[in-house]
A = this chain, B = another copy of it.
Amino acid sequence: MNQRSRDDLEVFHSSSRHRDRADTVVLVAERPGLVRRANGMRVVPDHPLDDHPPLDVLLIPGGAHSRIEAEMDNPAVTDWIRGTAGTAGSVTSVCTSAFLMRATGVSLGHRVATERALEDELQQLGDITAVRDARYTGDGNLVSSQSVSAGIDMTLWLVGRLPGRHHARAVRQSIQYEPAPPYLADEPV
């Protein structure tokens, strides 16, 4: 599957280093070959869809709309997501993957966040509530976020829900997530 932001994985990775148990981040894909990410980086899946360790958290990555739409029509992927969602503790989406999540049926009737520019489009599909003006939203075992960088806030929140907020605060400190985005003001040059 196509992928965009991966600092959300960095949150999980840092989290595992602060716990007694060794959590593992694995990349599951339909085929064993290379996957080219939207930003050009080529990554190698760790496991195929039919042979991977149990997943506490399933993160469905976002990506270009065309690639997400291709997977929406791919039963191998949608069936796997649907089955995994029934056993995973949490099922999460970032940005455009909210559309893939909906196509599997697991988010029907639920509240879901997506990229701000796509909220209307998601809402119009029906049987779903596109949550506005929230970086991320949780509903049952579903957690979904706005685009790219919102995945960092979502995964950090999730890490606080699972091992606890004191743990999440340690993770935040270790990845030095004290954001200071430049150019928020339109100051003179």
Contacts and interface: CB of A to CB of B under 8 A. Distances in A.
Contact of A153 (B7, B175, B180): B180
Task: Please indicate which of the listed interface residues A149, A152, A160 has the most CB atoms of chain B within 10 Å of its own CB.
Answer: A149
Interface string A1-15: 000111101101110
Contact of A10 (B115, B148, B178): B148
B153 A152 contact: no
A41 B6 contact: yes
B40 A24 contact: yes
Given A6-B6, A24-B40, A178-B181, 10 more contacts: A4-B10, A10-B148, A27-B41, A43-B44, A44-B44, A116-B176, A148-B177, A156-B182, A156-B183, A168-B183
